[in-house]
Amino acid sequence: MRFEEKDGALLAYHQGEMLRIESWGEDSLRVRATKLGGFTNEDWALTEPVPAGNAVVEIGEMDHRLSSGVVEKRPMAVITNGRIQAKVNFAGVITFYRDGTVFLQEYFRNYDGTISRESRCLKVINREWKGIIGGSESKLIVKFESNDGEKIFGMGQYQHSYMDLKGCTLELEQRNSQISVPFMVSSYGYGMLWNNPAVGQVTFGKNYTEWNARSTRQMDYWLTVADTPKKILEQYTEVTGRAPGFPEDRMGLWQCKLRYRTQKEVLEVARRYQKEGIHIDQIVIDFFHWTLQGDWKFDRKYWPDPKAMIDELHSMGIKVMVSVWPSVDKKSENFGPMMDRGLLIQTERGAVQTYDYQGDCMEIDALNPETRKYVWEVCKKNYYDLGVDGFWLDNSEPDFAVYDHENYRYFAGPALTCSNIYPQMYSRVFFDPMKKMGNDAVVNLLRCAWAGSQKYGNVVWSGDVPSTFEAFYDQLQAGLNMGLAGIPWWTTDIGGFMTDDWEDPDFKQLLIRWYQFAVYSPVLRMHGERGPINIPPLDDRDWGGGYLHTGHSNELWSYGEENYRIMKHYYEVRMAMKEYIKGLFEEASENGSPLLRAMFYEFPEDPKCWELQDQYMFGDRYLVAPVFHLNQWQREVYLPEGTWRDTRDGKNYEGGQLIMVEAPLETIPVFEKVD
């Protein structure tokens, strides 16, 4: 092992591997390694400029006692940046310290002549490179010791019931309703970003933690330490970016369904809301308003004058959002030019098709800057220049017909090496030019994200989830962990997306419970496919805006008078909180704090709060306890220290206790912190 200091960084060379550790922000270190002789120029999620590091590098020797009892001197090195320190021993094993206490150590079980725990004959090493035959990339496996009693949060959105990810195995892979944002927050007082968009997997095991990338050129991760999760998020978003300002005129109700088929339907809904005295901030026009996937324009048979429609909606103070998919049908007018110019995702073998829903399609290569320019120019002409305010960037994983990443190739390289950053680059098809044109209120809606996506005006929703109480519970875990992964703008389809029977009383109960939760969420958005699918198509063409199915009505008044009364009441609750919500969005821009917060985010000193996953804080003031079971009319709520006021009846409770509260359908238990 050979060490050197270069430009304030620690470099180590061992068995053909080059390791670089350097300061990267407050109390933080970036760690990279490669076997290719040099690092790539990619910073991936670490996009923000950081002050020049003032790390201290010390290169020396350590006593190494052999099994014979003989003590030898072996090389070692230490780099310190504020409260964080990394020590590299003679075998290249890294140990990380926070204020002098170990919080993370690479896992090494290879015989080195000692009788320590690490010195065993298993031949398990801390960083394992397995070269991919025929290429310069390798499969990379990095192992760390597991900390007993540690809790792990963040990592994006996974459709399971676990908020604490300790013991979980997670795909580092994007899918519909699964979002890989590889930043974790530990109860041990550190955060870690796996700064690599390669497809892979992480296991937070009881015996060890293992990260792997199926194809990559280098290892790259970032570590930070702090006393609280809030400070960890602040330091993480300092180096990856923070959400821009959220426009006040989109903090209210967004109206959507699968799907409004004509401009007449859209205007009728908007006029009815106006008549009812309910202001909608934004109406969303869903998929297949177009002629063909990839034409990216209105079907004028059903949308004869979209500019007039948009002008009327704007006159009512309603913003307009339209759905754009990355899929391009081979019959589309844009397929030929894009295929010829290499602007579509390529396959390594077999047919070129990558997507097969309602057409034979390929998908745009958003990692290619020429693709981003081409798609924006089409969408600007056909949508933005008509007055469209935002874009619903659906299928943004992208949603492949088969998630066979080894068969796809991007402009930036094999999909295995970079596919996870696709949704971020897709969002930049729209964010970058809109921002460049002077739009300071860019808000687009996406089904996926990656580390750093918070910078690009992305409201991320949780995907096409079922309309069940079980899925509802899972969405809270998803939303809390998305916030802890640095993504503060998050939402769900109220009531879930896939509804078999909109008239089912059990579904209507679920809808109300979900709606009440959404009121205390970053974005309040009505959406869903309300079955049964028994509404005839508008015409018999096999393309265009008239042929595809639609769901039943999904407006506030669509589910009966009693439910409408409840939803109107909570709409007013949302409107009354507007100044408070505005402050939460401002805080997200200032320090990276999510709006939807795990209990321990506000009360890190309370051990009970690290265990709770069925209640949360909406900002720092409101404790929200959703109802997650059918026909449940009361529930337990834990109140941390302090005084709490029940927002429903004004009754005060002293904290530090578990209480049982009533939860009739018309109310959600919410407590306001009053001291």
- Helical pair 229-240 and 578-591, crossing angle rounded to 10 deg: 70
The active-site residue, picked from 118, 145, 394, 529, is: 394
Q: Measured between alpha carbons, how far is 15 from 674 in angstroms, rounded to an integer?
A: 60
Encoding tokens for residue 512? 């109300």
Q: For strands 190-194 and 319-324, give the pairing.
A: unpaired
Q: Helix (H, G, I), strand (E, B), or coil: what is residue 110?
A: coil
Give, in order, the Cα–Cα distances in Å from 591 to each of 236, 479, 584, 586, 609: 9, 18, 11, 9, 22
Q: How many Cβ atoms sit within 10 Å of the Cβ of residue 249?
A: 15
DSSP 535: P
User: In whole angstroms, how far apart are CA 117 and each of 114, 147, 170, 304?
Assistant: 9, 15, 28, 74
From CA 450, how far away is CA 423, in angstroms rounded? 7
241 φψ region: left (φ > 0), alpha (ψ -120 to 50), beta (else): left
Lookup: tokens for 495: 């009531």
Alpha-carbon distances, residue 78 vs 227, 249, 423, 635 (angstroms): 22, 51, 38, 52
Give the start-end residues of each E strand in 162-286: 169-172, 179-186, 190-194, 200-204, 208-216, 219-225, 253-255, 280-285
**Which one from 17, 42, 265, 464 is the annotated catalytic residue?**
464
Q: Provide the 10 A C-beta neighbour count for residue 510.
A: 23
Note if 542 is an active site residue: no
Taking residue 154's Cβ as centre, other Cβ atoms within 10 Å add up to 27
Cα gap 411→393, rounded to integer Å: 20
Phi-psi map region of 90: left, alpha, beta (phi>0 left; psi -120 to 50 alpha): alpha
464 part of the active site: yes
Active-site residue, from 173, 281, 397, 646: 397
Q: How far apart are CA 52 and CA 286, in angstroms?
A: 47
Place of tokens 């300002």: 245
Give the other-Cβ count within 10 Å of 67's Cβ: 12
Q: How many Cβ atoms from other residues are within 10 Å of residue 665's Cβ?
A: 17
Beta strand 56-65 with 71-81 is antiparallel
Would you state the structure tokens that stand for residue 455, as one six-digit string? 């910078």
Question: To 10 degrees, the CA torsion angle through 567, 487, 428, 256?
Answer: -10
Within 535-597, where are the H helices?
561-576, 578-591
Pairing of strands 390-393, 319-324: parallel
Residues in the chain: 675
Is 394 considered catalytic here? yes
Catalytic residue ranges: 394, 397, 464
